[in-house]
Structure 1
Amino acid sequence: MQSDVIIIGGGLVGMALALALDAHGLTSTVVDAADLDATLAPGFDGRASAIASAPARMLRAIGLGQVLDDHGCAINQIRVTDGLSPLHLHFDARTEGAAADPLGYMLENRLLRVALMAAAKPAKNVSVFAPARVADIKREATGATVTLADGTALRAPLVIAADGRRSSVREGAGIRVSSWRYPQTAIVTMIGHERPHDSIAFELFYPTGPFAILPLTGVPQAPNRSAIVWSIENEDAPGYTKLGPRALAAEIDKRIGGFLGKIELIAPSSSYPLGFHHAETYSAERLLLIGDAAHGIHPIAGQGLNMGLRDVAALAQVLVESARLGLDLGAPAVLARYSAWRRFDNSMVAGVTDALNRLFALKGRGPALVRRLGLAGVERIAPLKARFMAEARGETGDLPALLHGELV
């Protein structure tokens, strides 16, 4: 079977790329070891993600705007504080005018996955093999062949690895990664609360790690609800993960300071260790890395998925423009253009999130005072604040057409 690209990994980023290419008439074959239909079950993944305004425009451009309108909760404001200090940094989309886009949307991962799969099934340029195990990948001067365990041979000029942090494709290509573990574990859950969140996302920084309260759309059983992403020190993780729903809700309420009123857990909690990784290179012969296969960062600013979606926008533009010129999509020059475009931006975001996490982890009154005065200072310096807001929106640098909400 021949296609323009073979995408290994049918998660959020891999499937978004397939649909972005489909919108421009390029064919893709998506391969995933998991049963993708099973990943749509309500209990499969209780996480939610913040989708910044620029990647949200891309989702609308490739036909996925309905899921944002029906299920996404607009983030109109972001409030950043050191703990519960009154000194803060406050971003407000409304300061840019009544017609301004929200700063982003909060959306349950499962619902985005449902929308992606619903769009991919009838797409004439997208073929999906799942569950399917890759038995062999051959990348040669004339093209690439991916052989599945059942003997099916897939051919394309280019293979794209979108198979996550522990990418077997990246490992098989011998691409090294810089990586380290943070002394932190993330606890993820959802809460129902008495008072409305007013579409405000809160990021509270504690020495043990950041504590994010992220607004979600209401449901009948919880008209006011938010997602919690709470970073705690590794040595405390076993104790917190053993807490029952009421005890964990009480601990969360202590960090919130009661400003949402009475709260309760409305979803199971899960935990995962936090780490950083960045691939030494994004390319090898007839191979490119995107999303978590290329990079993984601390969730401190909710930029992980957004980095992957920005990868999608840039790669789609590179491939579409190359195809229009009649170029070999796996040619070194094509791969180099994507790598140069995305590596600098990803390195900057990764560096900033790592530095912020380390800065806010410093204990003591002195560092806390410096942080609080720093946040208050940025709040009062309009050009600097505007720069931070643009970063939060994903609107800095050389933006691909899709991040403007336009097809290539």
Structure 2
Amino acid sequence: MTDAPMLDVLVAGGGYVGLSLAVAVKKAAPHLAVEVVDGAPEHVWQKDERASAIVAAARNLLDVLGVWNEIAPEAEPIRRMVITDSRTADPVRPVFLTFEGTGSTDDGQPFAHMVPNRAMTGSLLRQAESLGVPVRWSTLAEGFSTGQHETTVRLSDGTERVTRLLVACDGVRSKLRDMAGIKTVRFDYGQSGIVTTVEHERPHDGTAEEHFLPAGPFATLPLTGNRSSLVWTERTEDARRLVESDDLVFEEELERRFGHKLGALKVVGGRRAFPLGLTLARAFVAPRFALAGDAAHGIHPISGQGLNLGFKDVAALAETIVEADRLGLDIGALSALERYETWRRFDTVRMGITTDVLNRLFSNDATPLRVLRDVGLGMVDRLPGLKSFFIRQAEGTAGSGHPRLLVGQRI
């Protein structure tokens, strides 16, 4: 048993979801003792060359947390979205659907921005430090035991922490989720997503493009300057071959998919491939335990919503914790945590099913399916009301009953 004082919330995972949750809880309830542990080395986040799409609802959350103004100079607004459907060798790629993103939200802001991961993590870390939230790197939560009033967490440095609530933000292969006895629904797509950054001669004008190719979507997403972030889906074996190939072969294959509309291309970031699949937790909570982010759900990047689902978790779980505390309730009790699960499970399952169907529909070369999806895309493009509905869904502001942080309100 440890002599350390009891924590209110221990977050296992120092990524964007874990850090933003810690900041959100501490900012709304400064008296709560919040701590973050992560098994990675302290400065590993500085090596992250990737960028993420942040939709309007997530931007609202980051703004309330006090970090968006610091991130904004490095964020590139997505002003336009273009969707095509073709084969890799097709000389012409007809555009079936376009979305104008500028001024789409109620405050006139774009529906999404591309944000470098390093900028986001760095800003969240600095905010956590300013609020007095300790972040312990190279410290893995190796196991835990749950009692009636507390959970004792065993750490990799040989110490223990006692907390009223343990939140697992430790990724799609969460070991803590398995230790909690929470089962998952899993499916491997046999695809991997290649992620890298390219420079091009001509400006992208804030345009994001998603090309549906037989092996999977090839997305180009605008970054500051004449740069774009790529999320390139291929069959797993082909992705491995491409990542391991020399620069000449990789860039030739890249040009076949990217095209020449922005001039000559140059790969300026490292290239990595990530296996793609669907993972949905059967439960989001257990006594004194909650899942958030990829530990609760891993979906296909076809819609660019993975990280944004995690920020929705943060908004809902932070509000659940803070409001339970204000009412004098036990924040780790299952009866209090069930509100969070009710808030998030339907939306998560719906998004998981949606991305699964879209991936199966578009990642093939079957002629009947190609005709069906192209007719469907064309119909959406001709119906402004339906396009507006899809934009609102994408930006995370459709409907009502959202957690306060997602609509720009303090908890």
TM-score of the pair, normalised by structure 1: 0.93
Q: CA RMSD in A?
A: 1.7
Alpha-carbon distance in 2 for matches of 1:276, 1:109 = 23
- Match for residue 52 of structure 1 among 55, 61, 66: 55
- Equivalent residue, structure 1, for 2:25: 21
- Equivalent residue, structure 2, for 1:115: 123
Alpha-carbon distance, 1:265 to partner: 0.8
Aligned amino acid, residue 376 of structure 1 = G
CA contact (8 A) 2:52 2:116 kept: yes
Alpha-carbon distance in 1 for matches of 2:202, 2:192 = 28
The structure-2 alpha-carbon separation of the partners of 1:181 and 1:368, relative to structure 1 and needing over 3 Å to count, comes to same
Alpha-carbon distance in 2 for matches of 1:168, 1:292 = 12
Alpha-carbon distance in 2 for matches of 1:98, 1:388 = 15
Aligned amino acid, residue 23 of structure 1 = K
- Match for residue 375 of structure 1 among 374, 377, 383: 377
- Equivalent residue, structure 2, for 1:213: 220
- Match for residue 157 of structure 1 among 159, 164, 175: 164
- Equivalent residue, structure 1, for 2:302: 300
TM-superposition CA deviations, 1:29-87 (whole Å, max 9, x none): 1111112x32133xx22211111111011001101112331211111221122135324
CA contact (8 A) 1:77 1:93 kept: yes
Alpha-carbon distance in 2 for matches of 1:162, 1:95 = 33
CA contact (8 A) 1:49 1:108 kept: yes
CA contact (8 A) 1:68 1:105 kept: no
- The aligned runs of 1:120-135 (5 Å cut-off) are 120-124=128-132, 126-135=133-142
Aligned amino acid, residue 388 of structure 2 = A
- Match for residue 181 of structure 1 among 181, 188, 193: 188
Alpha-carbon distance, 1:88 to partner: 1.9
Aligned amino acid, residue 30 of structure 1 = V
Aligned residues: 399
Alpha-carbon distance, 1:155 to partner: 2.2
The structure-2 alpha-carbon separation of the partners of 1:78 and 1:31, relative to structure 1 and needing over 3 Å to count, comes to same
TM-superposition CA deviations, 1:220-244 (whole Å, max 9, x none): xxxx000011001223224322332
Q: What is the SS of the residue equivalent to 2:153? A: strand
Structure 2 residue 70 is matched with structure 1 residue 67: yes
Give the % identical residues: 40
Alpha-carbon distance in 2 for matches of 1:179, 1:171 = 13
CA contact (8 A) 1:21 1:27 kept: no
Alpha-carbon distance, 1:97 to partner: 7.8
Q: What is the SS of the residue equivalent to 1:278? A: strand
Unaligned runs of 5+ in 2: 87-91
CA contact (8 A) 1:29 1:127 kept: yes
Structure 2 residue 8 is matched with structure 1 residue 31: no
TM-superposition CA deviations, 1:87-108 (whole Å, max 9, x none): 4221113364895111111112
- Equivalent residue, structure 1, for 2:8: 4
Aligned amino acid, residue 385 of structure 1 = K
TM-superposition CA deviations, 1:272-316 (whole Å, max 9, x none): 211110111111111110001111011111111110011001111
Alpha-carbon distance in 1 for matches of 2:95, 2:138 = 51
CA contact (8 A) 2:299 2:352 kept: yes
Aligned amino acid, residue 184 of structure 2 = V
Unaligned runs of 5+ in 1: 219-223
Alpha-carbon distance, 1:367 to partner: 2.2
TM-superposition CA deviations, 1:125-166 (whole Å, max 9, x none): x12222213344121111212232444332222111111111
Alpha-carbon distance in 2 for matches of 1:203, 1:162 = 29
The structure-2 alpha-carbon separation of the partners of 1:151 and 1:240, relative to structure 1 and needing over 3 Å to count, comes to closer
Of 181-190 and 289-298, deviating more is 181-190
- Equivalent residue, structure 1, for 2:394: 392
Structure 2 residue 366 is matched with structure 1 residue 364: yes
Aligned amino acid, residue 80 of structure 2 = Q
Q: What is the SS of the residue equivalent to 1:122? A: helix
Aligned amino acid, residue 120 of structure 1 = A
CA contact (8 A) 1:77 1:103 kept: no
Q: What is the SS of the residue equivalent to 2:229? A: strand
Aligned amino acid, residue 200 of structure 1 = T
Q: What is the SS of the residue equivalent to 1:174? A: coil
Aligned amino acid, residue 264 of structure 1 = K
Of 163-172 and 394-403, deviating more is 394-403
CA contact (8 A) 2:103 2:110 kept: no
Q: What is the SS of the residue equivalent to 1:308? A: helix
Alpha-carbon distance in 2 for matches of 1:368, 1:135 = 48
Alpha-carbon distance in 2 for matches of 1:69, 1:149 = 36
CA contact (8 A) 2:71 2:119 kept: no
- Equivalent residue, structure 2, for 1:227: 229
TM-score of the pair, normalised by structure 2: 0.93
The structure-2 alpha-carbon separation of the partners of 1:357 and 1:97, relative to structure 1 and needing over 3 Å to count, comes to closer
CA contact (8 A) 1:50 1:104 kept: yes
